[in-house]
Amino acid sequence: MTGAPLLIHRATVLPAWLDYNGHMNDANYLMVFGYGLDLFMDRVGIGEEDRKTHEISLYTMQAHLSYVSELHANEPIRVETRVLDFDQKRVVLYYEMFREEALAAGPVAACESMNLHVSTAPVVKSAAFRPESFAAISALADAAKALPPAKYAGRPIAIPRKAAAS
């Protein structure tokens, strides 16, 4: 994907991330996508220091993962994160995971998540983004408009049914 600044996380599939089938475990895909969320939070002013100083955070309210192909131990991977939508308190992020050496082959997995901005003190409750964070999110969303459509976003979870023959 080119044409807009993306937030990119690189990693290598660790042997500890494998399941009993010898490929990356479901939970570890979500963990790696979570690193993309961390980069996003750092970029928009909700990083570790900001969370402490301003008593704010992002909570993931919903996530939908799409598994396209298997990953195995020691494969270098790359996660690209972009903003799909946002409002005063929420942001929808879209992540795609690629084999680092085969970016053109397309994603091996994708994740779409709804994240809620919260105030963490004195009690956790939803809160509007600080103006500087809102502006940064807006800029990332504008930049993402230049990217190709998010192929795995907005998909319902359902068993595909063939249309009945007439």
pLDDT in tens, the chain (166 residues): 345 668 899 999 999 999 999 999 999 999 999 999 999 999 999 999 999 999 999 999 999 999 999 999 999 999 999 999 999 999 999 999 999 999 999 999 999 999 999 999 999 999 999 999 999 999 999 999 999 999 999 988 888 888 766 5
DSSP state of 135: H
CA distances from 49 to 45, 53, 54, 57, 110 (A): 9, 6, 8, 11, 29
pTM: 0.91
Give the burial string for 113-124 (b: 16+ CB within 10 Å, else e). bbbbbbeeeeee
3-state DSSP call for residue 91?
Answer: strand
The pair of structure tokens assigned to 1 is 């994907």
Whole-number Å distance between alpha carbons of 154 and 62: 12
Sequence ranges of the domains in the chain: 7-144
Domain 7-144, CATH: 3.10.129.10
